[in-house]
């Protein structure tokens, strides 16, 4: 397989992972206005939990789901009992989530030590598939497929269900939504837990090829930030497009101009911030 194709496949796979990570970040930041700086920590915590399950011989998908559920629970509890008290106060929210990011990082270091863990790609997902005479690594395509399925599921939930409409109503006008009888605060806890669970799920999905190691959390957080700033907060389509854009920039940037990899990564974000602060797909004034 040519270098270009390899890079493209890797880009698509990273894009899929980034979407799983940043979709929740986008919902939490865009809908609830919480700058959740522990989102990368949810990714890492999920990855460690998943790796532990895999180590005990749990099926890969069950491990990913279990890590998602547990991390979602952690996120939900933090939102319910701590973040809730800081409603609308951005700086305290930043400090609280950043503090938890450090705590989660330290706990992970304590429990899982400083050595990297890299689980094997699950046996049934190893190997390559042949498409139009070219071979593609199966696992990368699986990541892409999972991202697409999650994107569709989220889109249906947010745009086409009564639950989604209630969440959007709670964002549009929180006081009136509550007067109408919508339990806004419970819905927000649910959204936060869902975002945490998706990030953790992404962590497990990414573990076989990113591996899990201390510092993974703060490597993923800026990527989620860039994706959401590029795509526009609160926009699922924005998160999807932004994820693949960053997936490509990251892989091609590192391969072609390694010295400028971070410039290539952050420059588009700067341009968007200057020229179109609401992001590519964000709503004006949202």
Partner 1 sequence: MATSALELSDVDAYYGDSHVLQGVTLRLGQGRLLGLLGRNGAGKTTCMNVTVGLLPPRRGGVLVFGEEVARLRPEQIALRGVALVPQGRRVFRSLTVRENLMVAARRPVNGGAAAWTLDTVYAMFPRLEERKAQMAAYLSGGEQQMLAIGRALMSNPRVLLMDEPSEGLAPQIVADVMATIRKLKASGLSIVLVEQNPQLVFEIADDIVILNTGRVAVAAPAAEVAGGAVDLGQHLGVF
Sites of contact with partner 1 (CB under 8 A): 162, 165-166, 168-169, 171-173, 175-184, 283
In angstroms, the CA 24 to CA 37 distance is 12
**Shortest spacing between CB 275 and partner 1, in angstroms:** 24
**Shortest spacing between CB 87 and partner 1, in angstroms:** 13
Residue 173 tokens, joined: 């006008």
**Shortest spacing between CB 90 and partner 1, in angstroms:** 22
- The whole-angstrom distance between residue 71's C-alpha and the CA centroid of its chain comes to 13
Beta carbon nearer to partner 1, 148 or 180: 180
Q: Which residues of 75-86 are buried (b: 16+ CB within 10 A; e: fewer)?
A: bbebbbeebeeb
Beta carbon nearer to partner 1, 115 or 172: 172
Beta carbon nearer to partner 1, 33 or 178: 178
Looking only at the bridges linking them, the beta strands covering 134-137 and 128-131 are antiparallel
In angstroms, the CA 7 to CA 5 distance is 5
Tally the residues of the chain.
286
**Shortest spacing between CB 259 and partner 1, in angstroms:** 44
**Shortest spacing between CB 181 and partner 1, in angstroms:** 3
In angstroms, the CA 227 to CA 43 distance is 15
Beta carbon nearer to partner 1, 65 or 187: 187
Beta carbon nearer to partner 1, 176 or 256: 176
Beta carbon nearer to partner 1, 85 or 283: 283
**Shortest spacing between CB 31 and partner 1, in angstroms:** 11
Residue 224 tokens, joined: 């989620």
Beta carbon nearer to partner 1, 8 or 182: 182
Query: Vertex 250, ends 2 and 271: CA angle to 5°?
Result: 130
**Shortest spacing between CB 52 and partner 1, in angstroms:** 39
In angstroms, the CA 41 to CA 114 distance is 15
DSSP string, 7-59: HHHHHHHHHHHHHHHHHHHHHHHHHH----TTHHHHHHHHHHHHHHHHHTT--
In angstroms, the CA 168 to CA 131 distance is 41
Residue 43 vs residues 75, 212, 239: alpha-carbon distances, Å: 11, 10, 16
């Amino acid at each position: 397989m040519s270098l270009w194709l390899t890079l493209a496949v890797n880009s698509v796979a990273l894009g899929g992972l980034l979407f799983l990570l940043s979709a929740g970040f986008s919902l939490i930041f865009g809908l609830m206005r919480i700058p959740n700086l522990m989102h990368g920590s949810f990714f890492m915590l999920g990855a460690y939990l998943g790796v532990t399950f895999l180590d005990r011989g749990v099926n890969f998908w069950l491990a990913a789901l279990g890590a998602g559920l547990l991390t979602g629970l952690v996120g939900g509890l933090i939102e319910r009992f701590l973040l809730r008290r800081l409603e609308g106060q951005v700086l305290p929210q930043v400090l609280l989530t950043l503090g938890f990011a450090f705590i989660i990082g330290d706990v992970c270091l304590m429990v899982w030590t400083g050595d990297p863990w890299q689980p094997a790609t699950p046996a049934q997902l190893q190997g390559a598939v042949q498409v139009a005479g070219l071979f593609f690594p199966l696992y990368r395509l699986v990541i892409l497929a999972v991202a697409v399925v999650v994107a569709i599921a989220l889109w249906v939930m947010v745009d086409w269900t009564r639950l989604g409409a209630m969440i959007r109503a709670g964002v549009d006008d929180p006081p009136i939504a509550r007067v109408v009888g919508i339990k806004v605060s419970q819905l927000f806890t649910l959204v936060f837990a869902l975002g945490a669970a998706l990030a953790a799920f992404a962590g497990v999905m990414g573990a076989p090829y990113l591996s899990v190691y201390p510092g993974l959390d703060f490597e993923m957080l800026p990527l989620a930030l860039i994706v959401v700033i590029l795509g526009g907060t609160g926009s699922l389509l924005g998160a999807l497009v932004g994820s693949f854009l960053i997936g490509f920039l990251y892989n091609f940037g590192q391969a072609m101009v390694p010295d400028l990899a971070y410039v290539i990564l952050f420059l588009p974000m700067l341009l968007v911030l200057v020229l179109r602060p609401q992001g590519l797909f964000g709503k004006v004034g949202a």
